[in-house]
Amino acid sequence: MKSIQDFAAKKERKEKISMVTCYDAWSARIVAQTDIDTVLIGDSLSMVMHGHPTTLNASVNLMALHTAAVARVLNNKFIVGDLPFLSYRMDLTSNVKAAGQIMKAGAHALKLEGAKGNLELIRHLVDSGVPIMGHLGLTPQSVFQLGGFKVQGKEHLHQMAIKKQAKDLEAAGCFAVVLECVPASLAKEISASIEIPTIGIGAGPDCDGQVLVLQDMLGMSDDFSPKFLKKYMDGHRLIKEALNTYHSEVVSAKFPTAKESY
Ligand code: KIV
């Protein structure tokens, strides 16, 4: 996929959209050679790559740095960059500057969390040529407001509010919306009620696409196994085994041999 028009066309044709996060050139080179439709330089990199407990530590500079690393080597897929915590909640000039920095680093579109208080900015950015992806449900930048990383939209009133926010994001010009950790029935209803694609994570099978954090789906962590996650590889074990094999071959002088020598 190369454009926001491809997102619309996929929904129109009832074809699912696959998205993974991608934070660096190393993994981008691999993702570039796959069938994955689109990548997200998510602010989850604050946790996955930098060891912070939440996404709140991601800055515009950090997001731009990672976006540039991915964009340098990934030129065959649509790249969405996250606007980090509070960077789009300031005055218009600062918000636009933050958006511009990540777009100029190589993103083709930006994602921001929540609808309340963001609609005017979304309209402004869209009118300025910046495609915007929304993000509803569990919005990790609001983790302390939400009381933790919890499923959202369990009660009827909250479900109604999320449904309305999805409509508002569509009306403001978003080309897609991430639905994170909401009941599958709610995600299904929202997906049917808006024309732009929904991209689910922990939102059941009826979204128009799915996104997972690359390191999570590759099983890189042995202590992160939320219900919504499917691990397609036991990366943690495989990498540990490879490192231990290397170590034992070094200490037993099995590596390097003449084959690896000049
Ligand atoms: O930052 C991120 O990785 C995300 C996805 C989980 C949707 O926002």
Give the tens place of pLDDT for each residue, 195-213. 999 999 999 999 999 999 9
Q: For the chain, what is the total number of helices (H) and then of strands (E)?
A: 11, 8
Q: Ligand 1 centre and the CA of 180: distance in Å?
A: 8
**Cα(128)–Cα(86) distance, integer angstroms:** 20
Per-residue confidence at 85, pLDDT binned at 50, 70, 90? very high
Q: Mean pLDDT over all residues of the chain?
A: 98
Q: What is the pLDDT of residue 218?
A: 98
pLDDT tens figures, 89-99: 999 999 999 99
Provide DSSP, 65-103: HHHHHHHHH--SSEEEEEPPTTTTSS-HHHHHHHHHHHH
Question: Among the options 113, 170, 180, 241, which is catalytic?
Answer: 180
The 10s digit of each residue's pLDDT in 167-183 is: 999 999 999 999 999 99
Average pLDDT over residues 100-114: 98
pTM exceeds 0.95, yes or no:
yes
What is the pLDDT, as a whole number, of residue 37? Answer: 98
Which residue has the least CA distance to atom 5 on ligand 1?
Answer: 42
Percent of the chain residues past pLDDT 70, beyond the cut: 100
User: In the structure, which protein residues have their CB atom closer than 6 angstroms to any atom of ligand 1?
Assistant: 21, 40, 42-44, 82, 178, 180, 201, 211, 213
Q: What is the pLDDT of residue 130?
A: 98
Average pLDDT over residues 113-138: 98
Q: Could you report the per-residue pLDDT of 3-47, keeping only the tens digit for each?
A: 999 999 999 999 999 999 999 999 999 999 999 999 999 999 999
Mean pLDDT of 225-244: 98
Q: Is residue 155 among the annotated active site residues?
A: no
What pLDDT sits at residue 20? 98
Q: What tokens were used for 236?
A: 């943690």
Both tokens of 185, joined, read 């029935």
Q: Among 127-131, 192-196, 221-225, 229-233, name the one with the lowest average pLDDT.
A: 221-225
Pocket test for ligand 1, best of 20, 57, 111 (most atoms within 8 A of CB): 111
Q: Given this model, what pLDDT does residue 253 score?
A: 98
Maximum CA pair distance of the chain? 70
Provide the token pair at 194. Answer: 């808006």
